[in-house]
Structure 1
Amino acid sequence: MTISSTSTLKGFLLINILLVSVICTGQENFTAFVQPAVALNYNVTNTYSHNFSVQNRNYLYDNESVQLTVRQIDIVHFSNLRIKDNQSLAFGILYRFRENFDDGTNELRLTQQYNLQYKTNVIRYGHRLRTEQRITSIKTTHRYRYRFSLDLPLQGEKLDVGEPYFVGNFENLLSVAKEQRPQYDVRFTLNLGWKITEKTKFQIGSEYRFEDYSQNLEQVLLLLSSLNISL
């Protein structure tokens, strides 16, 4: 399969423009964000690695009005251990700075993760299980997450420098806390990326979330971009 980078980009941007146009419909319980990120990957050994990232989430549409204000900044670290060729365990810690930007509270998040990947022809599939503890001054929330993902090069059978690739995700979440009814969320993510150099990738994409859909549905759109650097 060979798809030109130009036509791929045009088609992907069209999809995202259609998503952003939802903002203009004035629907209730809808929020949109812009979220850029930078990530640094470092291999300690052949089986053990670190990942450091910083991401910034900004309001784009909230309370039925267009705006561009900072909501939060996240600093994240993950330690990854490969236990088999296609399986790994990871432990993460995140600190979210939010009190300085809006009425939210700062958050410490601990993450435990199991990841399984396998490949069929040019498509790579992934299953990810996560448990999280979101700790704030108000409460501790436990989250249980399952994500299915796939990625593939858009030119040829393997990804070479300068070529685009596609990543798609589907994720279910369950959040539980004391004196709070369980919350169910679902997320859909589409990303288009380019391998800029052997150690650098750039991605743009969008994620649509249906939050607390069993009780008080809220819809959230995130416009994503990320620069990933490997050392």
Structure 2
Amino acid sequence: MVNCNLAFSQNSKSYYYENEFDLSLPVGEKWSMEIGVGNRGMSQETLEGEKLSGYQHDHLEINQFTKYESSESLVLSLGLRYRFKELFDSSESNEFRVIEQLEFEPVNAVVPLSHRLRLEQRFKEHTIHRMRYEMEFSRPLNDTFEVGVATEALYAVSSREKPEAEQRFSIAVENTSFRNLELEIEFEYRMEDYARDLGHEFFIVTGVSLEL
């Protein structure tokens, strides 16, 4: 994992890795379907420099998104996600998620910014509603690699828990030299529940996307 020496006092720090694989299938002129699998594990968690826990696997998930390209700039999606958590921790419960998504990327914009708005309903012990907005800037480095930087704001509410706000920052490098195949590595930092009980989370994410 990434070795981070940032001075965050009296807040927990968690270090994660994620692996993702997505398969995109065209099903019509403007319709497509994306099927994916992924997993997440935590390398360790610390508090004030003291190790709280070591390696533990977090979840395995399957995803399915149905996408509609409304225009050259706008894509609408409906997603379903299921996370298997009980396999790795009997105290956790599996989670089913419904995702409504809008992606907007202006054509021929002076600044190449893309925008993503997500509404999520997470069903586990109780229902959690989340709203997410991501803004990303990306540009090619050469004929092989593309780099992107992004930030995402997240707000979650439920009937049993206090509202929770989160901010995420990421940088990713993507290899596009293979036909219909994208390879990506991403480094992400999350400010978890920063309004009440700030926690710092660091991720390394690897992704493979294949388009048929």
Q: Residues 229, 49 of structure 1: CA spacing in aligned structure 2 closer, same or farther, 3 A cutoff?
A: same
Residues 72 and 107, structure 2, Cα contact 8 Å, conserved in 1: no
Count how many residue pairs are aligned between Structure 1 and Structure 2: 207
**1:112 partner letter:** E
Q: 1:175 aligns with which of 142, 153, 156?
A: 156
Q: Which moved more, 1:192-201 or 1:57-66?
A: 57-66
Q: Among residues 98, 105, 113, which one is paired with 1:110 in the alignment?
A: 98
Structure 1 match to 2:147: 166
Which residue of 122, 126, 141 corresponds with 1:154? Answer: 141
Q: Distance in 2 between matches of 1:78 and 1:129?
A: 15
Residue 70 of structure 2 aligns to a residue whose secondary structure is strand
Distance 1:227 1:23, change over 3 A: farther
Counterpart Cα distance in 1 of 2:94 and 2:59: 9
Does the residue aligned with 2:105 lie in a helix, a strand or coil?
strand
Equivalent position of 1:4 in the other structure: none
Q: Distance in 1 between matches of 2:3 and 2:64?
A: 31
Give the secondary structure class of the aligned counterpart of 2:55: strand
| Aligned match for 2:115, one of 104, 109, 127 | 127
1:62 is matched with which residue? 45
Report what 1:32 is aligned to: 15
Query: What is the DSSP-based 3-state SS (H/G/I as helix, E as strand, rest coil) of the residue aligned with 1:214?
Result: coil
Letter in 2 for 1:74: E
1:47 maps onto 2:30 in alignment: yes
Say if 1:23 and 1:32, in contact at 8 Å, map to a contact too.
no
Instruction: Label 1:106 to 1:229 Cα distance change in 2 as closer, same or farther (>3 A).
Output: same
Q: Is the 8 A contact 1:122 1:153 kept in 2?
A: no
| Distance change >3 Å, CA 142–CA 121, structure 1 → 2 | closer
Between structures 1 and 2, the one with greater helix share = 1
Counterpart position of 2:177: 196
Alpha-carbon distance in 1 for matches of 2:3, 2:110:
31
> How much does 1:61 deviate?
1.4
Q: Is the 8 Å Cα contact of residues 196 and 202 (structure 1) preserved in structure 2?
A: no
What residue identity is the alignment partner of 1:142?
A: H
Residue 76 (structure 2) pairs with residue 73 (structure 1):
no
SS at match of 2:200: strand
Partner in structure 2 of residue 91 of structure 1: 78
- C-alpha deviation, 1:65, in angstroms: 5.5
Shift of residue 107 of structure 1?
0.2
Task: Pick the aligned partner of 2:192 from 199, 208, 211.
Answer: 211
State the one-letter code of the partner of 1:88: V
Q: Distance in 1 between matches of 2:9 and 2:161?
A: 30
Deviations 1:110-143 (A, max 9, x none): 000111102557963211111000000x100000
In 2, Cα distance between the equivalents of 1:23 and 1:106? 33
Could you list the runs of 5+ residues in structure 2 that have no partner in the other structure? Answer: none
Unaligned 5+ runs, structure 1: 1-16
Q: Deviation at 1:205?
A: 1.4
Cα distance in 1 between the residues matched to 2:159 and 2:8: 36
RMSD: 2.2
